[in-house]
Amino acid sequence: MRDPTNMTASRETAAMEVTAAFLVTNDAIVGDWFERAGHTLAFRVCGRAVSMDDAERAIPTSGATVLVIDQDLADGSGLELVRRLRASGVLTPMLIMTAMPVSGINEGAQRAGATGTVVRSGRADDVAWAISAAARHRTIWDERNPALALASPRELEVLSMIAAGYLTSDIAARLVLSSETIKSHVQNVLLKFGAHTRAEAVAIAVRAGVV
Tens digits of per-residue pLDDT, 47-106? 999 999 999 999 999 999 999 999 999 898 999 999 999 999 999 999 999 999 988 899
Calpha distance 86→81 (Å, rounded) = 9
**3-class secondary-structure state, position 208:** helix
Give the chain's residues under pLDDT 50: 4-15
Residue 19 φ then ψ, to 5°: -95, 135
Whole-model pTM? 0.75
pLDDT confidence of residue 204 = 86
